[in-house]
Amino acid sequence: MKLIIMKFNLLKDKTAIVTGASGGIGREIVKLLDQNGVYLVLSVIDEERLNEIGKKLSQEPVSSQEQ
């Protein structure tokens, strides 16, 4: 199996909202966008999982708010 790595230069320094960011497809989307310099707003149910994701991002997390 061959993976295709895509560069989203048009998205660099843009902001993306990712819901379901802590699992499966959402987590992979977060990784891909982060690698391409996209600012992220993440939505998850479990705050612990959000903190785990934040530690893996190349950018420093700004804040976490509970709704």
Computed over every residue of the chain, the mean pLDDT equals 81
Digit-coded pLDDT (tens) for 30-48: 998 998 889 999 989 888 8
Rounded (5°) CA angle 47-16-33: 90
Q: Report residue 63's pLDDT band, with 50, 70 and 90 as the boundaries.
A: low
- Residue range 1-17: average pLDDT? 73
- Conformation bin of residue 30: beta by default, left when phi > 0, alpha when psi is -120 to 50: alpha
